Amino acid sequence: MPSPVRPDRATAPETSHLAERFAAVRDLTLALAAPLSDADATVQSMADASPTKWHMAHTTWFFETFVLRDHVAGYALHDERFPFLFNSYYEAEGRRHARDRRGMVTRPSLDEVRAYRAHVDAALLDALPTLSEDAQALVALGCHHEEQHQELLVTDILHMFSENPLEPAMWPAARKIPVAMPGPIGWIERGSEIVEIGHDGEGFSFDCEGPRHAALLSPHAIADRTVTNGEWAVFIADGGYRDARHWLADGWAWVKAEGIVAPLYWEERDGESGSGWTRFGLDGRRAIDPAAPVTHVSFFEADAYASWAGARLPTEFEWEAAAASHDASGGNQMDVAGPVEPRPSPGGPAFFGDVWEWTGSAYRPYPKFAKVDGAVGEYNGKFMSSQFILRGGSCATPRGHVRASYRNFFYPHQRWQFTGVRLAKDI
- pLDDT band, very low/low/confident/very high, at 237 (cuts 50, 70, 90): very high
Is the bond preceding residue 108 a cis peptide, omega within 30 degrees?
yes
- pLDDT band, very low/low/confident/very high, at 118 (cuts 50, 70, 90): very high
Q: Domain 187-426: give its CATH superfamily.
A: paralog of FGE (formylglycine-generating enzyme) (3.90.1580.10)
What's the rounded mean pLDDT across residues 125-142? 96
- d(C-alpha 9, C-alpha 21), whole Å: 12
- Given this model, what pLDDT does residue 348 score? 62
| pLDDT per residue as tens digits for the range 263-314 | 999 999 875 544 599 999 999 999 999 999 999 999 999 999 999 999 999 9
Q: What is the mean pLDDT of the chain?
A: 93
- Given this model, what pLDDT does residue 378 score? 64
| Cβ atoms of residues 72 and 59 within 8 Å | no
Beta strands in 138-212 (DSSP E): 187-190, 193-197
| pLDDT per residue as tens digits for the range 179-223 | 788 899 999 999 999 999 999 999 999 999 999 999 999 999 999
- d(C-alpha 339, C-alpha 169), whole Å: 10
- Given this model, what pLDDT does residue 186 score? 94
- d(C-alpha 270, C-alpha 278), whole Å: 9
- d(C-alpha 338, C-alpha 380), whole Å: 29
Domain residue ranges of the chain, discontinuous segments joined by +: 13-162, 187-426
Q: What angle do CA 147, 153, 159 make, to 5 degrees?
A: 145
- Given this model, what pLDDT does residue 381 score? 81
- Given this model, what pLDDT does residue 380 score? 77
- pLDDT band, very low/low/confident/very high, at 5 (cuts 50, 70, 90): low
- Given this model, what pLDDT does residue 84 score? 97
CATH 1.10.20 fits 13-162, yes or no: no
pTM, two decimals, is: 0.94
Query: For residue 214, is it left (φ>0), alpha (ψ between -120 and 50) or beta?
Result: beta
CB atoms within 10 A of CB 258: 10
What's the rounded mean pLDDT across residues 357-361? 98
Query: For residue 358, is it left (φ>0), alpha (ψ between -120 and 50) or beta?
Result: beta
Burial class, 70, CB count within 10 angstroms (exposed 0-12 / middle 13-18 / buried 19+)? middle
Using the predicted structure, report yes or no on whether residue 39 has a pLDDT greater than 70.
Answer: yes
**β-sheet bridge partners, residue 419:** 356
Using the predicted structure, report yes or no on whether residue 382 has a pLDDT greater than 80.
Answer: yes
Is the bond preceding residue 211 a cis peptide, omega within 30 degrees?
yes
